[in-house]
Amino acid sequence: MAFGVIIIGDEILSGRRSDKHLPKVIELLNARGLALAWAEYVGDDPERITATLARTFASGDIVFSTGGIGATPDDHTRQCAAKALSVPLELHPEAAELIRQRILEMHAAAGTPADLEAPDNKHRFNMGVFPRGASIIPNGYNKIPGFSVGDHHFVPGFPVMAWPMIEWVLDTKYAHLHHQVPRAERSLLVFELMESTLTPLMEKIETDFPGVRVFSLPSVGDAERGGVFARRHIDLGVKGEPEAVAAAYVKLREGVHLLGGDIVEPETPRFEGH
């Protein structure tokens, strides 16, 4: 099953806030031997959110969606999920109880009486209105839960809440997928060659080693990192099943030598030129 993430919010697309979710989701998945297959950014446009969710619900992928599950006018995710599934929204009983507890705690901390019928408190219960058939995702930060529908999991946009909730989902619902497929990755830095020169070698490696993927990341030079990284280079490597990667890496390295490229290997930071 492929993992994907949808990051919702105008503030990300406008640059008002920088996205921190994508690198964190990658980190959380990698720590469990899993990998992210795709990511999408969507603004606070109900039609676009609905269309995106309708497509991803039909994909069969495991999807995390961040943002837009509050109860303010710019929060549309709950409604769009229900529309994409063609199911009604309804107050989830467990969510309602958690929200009630949160309201009582807030008033107790403020030393004020709790009136659950007050307009602001009644409005808070909207955060527990989910598509029919949803289950809750616990929120250890403030009790206001997220929700899951099938293999789609909806969490707030706040990292302090979202990240532990994503971890909970991964460890509760998908523990059987952890470290199921061993993966390895090896790369080297190539100097004095163009990507077009390396392309036939890359294609041959993928043909000769099914299941191994070759990657090529060109750089014009990174002055901040300095050293060899300051020079124009290509980060060339292979990833996949460990034994196949080990064999493919040997062939990749040999191929670069035959093409006349200079090499620096991360494990052995020295040049091997011709």
Number of domains in the chain: 2
What pLDDT is stored for residue 268 in this prediction?
Answer: 44
Q: What is the CATH number of the domain that holds 98?
A: 3.40.980.10
What pLDDT is stored for residue 222 in this prediction?
Answer: 76
pLDDT tens digits, 109-131 = 999 998 999 999 999 999 999 99
Provide the phi-psi class of 111: left if phi over 0, else alpha when psi is between -120 and 50, else beta: left
What pLDDT is stored for residue 273 in this prediction?
Answer: 38
- How confident is the prediction along the chain (274 residues), in pLDDT tens digits per residue? 799 999 999 999 999 999 999 999 999 999 999 999 999 999 999 999 999 999 999 999 999 999 999 999 999 999 999 999 999 999 999 999 999 999 999 999 999 998 999 999 999 999 999 999 999 999 999 999 999 999 999 999 999 999 999 999 999 999 999 988 888 899 999 998 999 999 999 999 999 999 899 999 999 877 777 777 778 899 999 999 999 999 999 999 999 999 999 999 875 433 333 3
Full residue range of the structural domain in which residue 106 is found: 3-177
What pLDDT is stored for residue 267 in this prediction?
Answer: 56
> At CB < 8 A and 24+ separation, what contacts does 164-170 make?
164/140, 165/137, 165/138, 165/139, 166/24, 166/25, 166/28, 166/64, 167/28, 168/137, 168/138, 169/64, 169/137, 170/28, 170/29, 170/32, 170/34
Residue at which a domain ends, from 177, 193, 223: 177
33 and 161 fall within a common domain = yes
Q: What CA–CA distance (Å, rounded) separates 252 from 259?
A: 11
Q: What is the CATH number of the domain that holds 258?
A: 3.30.70
195 and 164 fall within a common domain = no
198 and 165 fall within a common domain = no
Whole-prediction pTM: 0.83
154 and 20 fall within a common domain = yes
Helix-helix angle 159-173:21-30, to 10 degrees: 30
Q: Which residue has the tokens 């997220």?
A: 146
212 and 139 fall within a common domain = no
Query: Are 28 and 163 contacting, i.e. CB atoms less than 8 angstroms apart?
Result: yes
238 and 256 fall within a common domain = yes
What pLDDT is stored for residue 249 in this prediction?
Answer: 96
